[in-house]
Amino acid sequence: MQNRIYIKDLKDNIGKEIIIAGWVDIRRDQGKMVFFDMRDMTGKVQCVALPSHVEAIEVAKEIRSEWVLKINGIVNKRPDKNIKADVLNGEVELEVVGIEILNKAETSAIDLSTDGYEIGEEHRLEHRYLDLRRERMQKNIRNRHKVAKLIRDYLSKENFIEIETPILSKSTAEGARDFIVPSRLDQGKFYALPQAPQQYKQLLMASGMEKYFQMAKCMRDEDLRGDRQPEFTQLDMEMSFVDREEVMNLNENLLIEIVQKLYPKKEIQEIPFPRISFKDAIEKYGSDRPDLRKDKNNKNLLAFCWVVDFPFFEKADDKNNPQAEGEWTFTHNPFSAAKPEFHDDLLNKKNIPNILTNQYDIILNGFEIGGGSIRNHDPEALLAVYDIMGVKKEEVEKNLFYMLEAFRSGTPPHGGIAWGFDRLMMVLENEPNIREVIAFPKNGEGKDLMMVSPSEIPEKQLKELGIKLNK
């Protein structure tokens, strides 16, 4: 819109006639004058339509909340007695000269004047495009962008490159159920949506990329809870020629920079972050995600810690890992490396309950916000992991041939981590669940209430895919 300025810049245009555009926030008709607040993505300003501007005041009497307007107005300084300190545009108001109605709005299906917590979440998600207009949600989504940008800038300076990996992938045993996608051109066969870019990022290390990251979409068909979604975002990264300390130190420094630059009112309880073994965490706190805050009522206190030295294997449990085949299953993922002192035990498949993995989890206020490991780059070690889990070598060679071939082609030692980006944002924004920091989340049952999804598809489409449903 030609010559439009943002509401945040009105204070720099006192005495000038300008153009703004946005939504009517609140309207107050006081007889001879009409007051209303206008908002755009940068803030709000009070507008006043005076009797001296006849056409403007007639239109102003008609407008309602959430109408979209273009306003011509003069930026006036408020009288001293009316100045609102510490409020954007608290020292100015806009004298309305002309109003153009760009779009009218029906009465809003949900109240947008509050923070929204008092409204049933199902109702909010059904009208998410409205819910996102509220100030709290605007803040959450915009701050999410700022954190993502800082991460991208930080890692770029550290010589990482951002690489996108495929969404249509292959179904492999990684700990959760896959979402599968039928192939129309190759009927009876299926793609899988990636639970994580785990294999791709290791293949990128085999490719000589050395330092990779992406803000990756991950999809897992698992039971839901407040900090889970069927699709979520990871900050995913991988590095070649590193040990555990290098990976942990880089990530610790990045987290500190995010807090100090973007959340200066928050306090990190302890720097460097404390490190706790899995064994000590369980014995002392009863959890491998301990909340170490000294004052749990202080929302601006951030207690980070690393949990290390996890067992590589645990007794298989169909409920815990639906893809488990043998007596043992992995605790995190099958691609982790054993700690160096347990490497021979892994290859010889002995002392299994006591083998520790080179895994590290980053915990924040009782939430696991990230996990990673130094990986197996030795094909024999990967085969040993699957053998311990009861998967025959022939099956691994068939299903993961590309990984084994890559490892046999000269893959360097490597390791990385993946952050649960939504969880991190949830804690930083003091929100009760990750749905408050995701633009278009699913509800607690994994449903999109706005688009009404999942939904049935036409019989013709099923037929094209070679799919027949059981009634």
pLDDT the model gives residue 1: 67
Residue 29's domain comprises: 7-103
Same-domain check for residues 202 and 59? no
Whether residues 134 and 97 share a domain: the answer is: no
Model pLDDT, residue 319: 47
| Tally of domains within the chain | 2
Residues 349 and 223 in one domain: yes
159 and 297 part of one domain: yes
Burial (0-12, 13-18, 19+ Cβ within 10 Å), 471: exposed
- Does a structural domain hold residue 121? no
In a domain, 243, yes or no: yes
Domain-ending residue, one of 103, 138, 159: 103
DSSP state of 20: E
Same domain, 245 and 348: yes
CB-based contact 228:234 (threshold 8 Å): no
pLDDT < 50 positions in the chain? 318-319, 322
CB atoms within 10 A of CB 367: 17
In Å, how far are 197, 362, 418, 434 from 235, measured between CA atoms? 10, 13, 5, 15
Q: Where are the beta strands (DSSP E) in 297-399?
A: 301-302, 304-311, 313-315, 328-330, 356-364, 367-374
CA 5 vs CA 16, 22, 228: distances in Å: 12, 11, 40
Residues 400, 304 share a domain:
yes
Domain boundary (68, 103, 138) is at 103
- Per the domain annotation, does 254 fall within a domain? yes
Nearest to 235, CA basis, from 191, 192, 196, 184: 196
Nearest to 60 by CA among 89, 20, 92, 33: 33
**15: CATH:** 2.40.50.140
Q: Residues 39, 165: one domain?
A: no
75 and 172 belong to one structural domain: no
Element (H, E) at 57: helix 54-60
**Same domain as 333, residue 222:** yes
- CA torsion, points 260, 268, 371, 442, in degrees to nearest 10? -80
Residue 18 and residue 149 share a domain: no
| Spatial separation of the C-alpha atoms in residues 354 and 351, rounded to whole Å | 6
**Whether 85 and 147 share a structural domain:** no
Residue 140 lies in a domain: yes
Which pair of tokens denotes residue 138? 């605007």
Q: Residue 100 forms beta bridges with which residues?
A: 70
CATH of the domain at 368: 3.30.930.10
- Phi/psi of residue 302, nearest 5 degrees: -115, 115
Which residue in the block uniquely carries the two structure tokens 């130094």?
A: 374
User: For residue 72, which phi and psi values (nearest 5 degrees)?
Assistant: -95, 130
Task: Please check whether residue 112 lies inside any domain of the structure.
Answer: no
| CA gap 267, 291 in Å, rounded | 15
Q: Is residue 113 part of a domain?
A: no
State the Cα–Cα distance between residues 365 and 295, nearest whole angstrom: 11
Task: Look at residue 329 and tell me if it is in a domain.
Answer: yes
Phi, psi values for residue 216, rounded to 5°: -100, 140
Q: What is the pTM of this model?
A: 0.93
11 and 141 fall within a common domain: no
Q: Which among 59, 88, 103 is the end of a domain?
A: 103
The answer for residues whose C-beta is within 8 angstroms of residue 182's C-beta and 6 or more apart is 189, 190, 465, 466, 467
Residue 114 placed within a domain: no
